[in-house]
Amino acid sequence: MGEIRSTLDIIMEKTKGLTLTEEEKLEMQERELRGWVQGLLQRCVDGLIDPSALLKELDEQDPARRKRAIEMIVEGTLDRLDPEGDNSRLIEIVQEAAGSGGASLKAMLDAGRDDFSRKREAHRQSLVAALAEKGIRGSAVIPNLEADPRWGALKKEETVALVNRAKALFRQDRNP
């Protein structure tokens, strides 16, 4: 009677002669670095470590890997910007990681927050007007912006635009 082999044994036998190409190795290293950086960044955003400790963790890396990790930190931090939220911790992380750009980023975010607030109020007013046309009016009428799909789409567009402006500003500050 034949021997019953495990799936792992069969896979190991079939992949015995396979090796990774240089491109695949680099891709795996990039994925590994991205996961490690995202973990560090999340700990920093959550306040478990401060931005200077974040950079100290990077000091153990070789220079090329450290440079790429800093790029990933800045990119990941800018991706988390919120036009309505408190971005002060994110600005602090970018400033510490990049060594500059915090003041111009803060000014851009403040202007973006003001613009976003105006758009929020205009959209709220349009919802109040739409309700009034249906006969629903009064001081107790408060439209739920978050339930309005048009507001959700506009908010998403504004957030993407804010992140893109921040990334462009960062690139401009890094390459004058």
- pLDDT tens for residues 100-159? 666 788 888 888 899 999 999 999 999 999 999 999 888 888 999 999 999 999 999 999
Mean pLDDT score, 78-105: 84
- Distance, CA of 46 to CA of 37 (rounded, Å): 14
Give pLDDT, residue 101. 63
pLDDT digits (tens, 9 = 90+) for 4-56: 767 877 777 777 777 778 888 888 889 999 999 999 999 999 989 988 888 88
The yes-or-no verdict on residue 1 having pLDDT over 50 is: no
Q: Over the range 151-165, which residues count as b (16 or more CB within 10 Å of their CB) and which as e?
A: beebbeebbeebbeb
Domain ranges of the chain: 20-174
Contacts 24+ apart (CB under 8 A), 42-51: 44/89, 44/93, 45/77, 45/80, 45/89, 45/90, 45/93, 47/89, 51/92, 51/93, 51/95, 51/96, 51/97
What is residue 103's predicted lDDT score, i.e. its pLDDT?
A: 75
pLDDT at residue 173, as a whole number: 67
6-10, 60-64, 91-95, 143-147: segment of lowest average pLDDT: 6-10
Q: Are 89 and 117 in contact, with CB atoms under 8 Å apart?
A: no
